[in-house]
Amino acid sequence: MDKLDRNELLSLERYAELRAEFRDRMLKHKRHRRVSVGPHLHLYFEDRLTIQYQVQEMLRIEKIFEASAIKVELDTYNPLIPDGCNLKATAMLEYQSVDTRRQQLALLRGIEDLVWAQVNGFERIHAIANEDLQRSNAEKTSAVHFMRFEFAADMVNALRSGADLTFGCNHESYLYTAEVEAAVRAALLADFD
């Protein structure tokens, strides 16, 4: 997948005009780009369109219009666009209660290194997490992690031929798996083009 270029972004004025339409399009698009691994770990799979939306929103919120500042945003978010042989996700540990979240983030230290994907008939692929910076420390893990899952060509071919895809987590305090629904699997397959 090609990275975003500044020339593909809408001006602040044009984005303001089209924002509601873009947001509706994004919500429909994202509907099939989420996998919940258990009740609290959610993988939101990024692609070129989700990242364009994120960048446009950042430019709008921060009122960024200078070329150098736009480049900073693109340099920050472009690495989250899949490269054709991987899936990239924002992983979120979501809890309703602040106290519960605090307790669970302490309990789940290291979870980011124990999330995996598996194509039926192949070995598990463990996530490569947080390549930009460390998000865990000795006391707790972060509620947000950025993950990359690298797939071999034969795995991608198997997925294209209908093989099942599963995500899971092997943390001793969070042992869950999730079979990927057909619509989500189809959406994620586009990331390998």
* d(C-alpha 101, C-alpha 115), whole Å: 19
Q: What pTM value is reported for the model? A: 0.91
What pLDDT digit, counting tens, does each position of 50-91 carry?
999 999 999 999 999 999 999 999 999 999 999 999 999 999
Q: Which residues contact 111 (CB under 8 A, 6 or more apart)?
A: 41, 93, 141, 169, 171, 174
What pLDDT digit, counting tens, does each position of 38-49 carry?
999 999 999 999
CA torsion, ordered 126, 132, 133, 136, to nearest 10 deg: -30
DSSP alpha helices (H): ranges in 31-107? 48-62, 67-77, 98-107
The H-or-E segment that residue 35 falls in is: strand 34-37
Residue 2's pLDDT band (cuts 50, 70, 90):
confident
What confidence score (pLDDT) does residue 39 get? 98
What pLDDT digit, counting tens, does each position of 115-173 carry?
999 999 999 999 999 877 667 778 899 999 999 999 999 999 999 999 999 999 999 99
Beta-strand pair 174-179/144-150? unpaired
Q: Give all domains of the chain, ordered by start, each with its CATH number.
A: 1-31+48-81 (no CATH), 34-46+84-193 (2.60.40)
Average pLDDT, the chain: 95
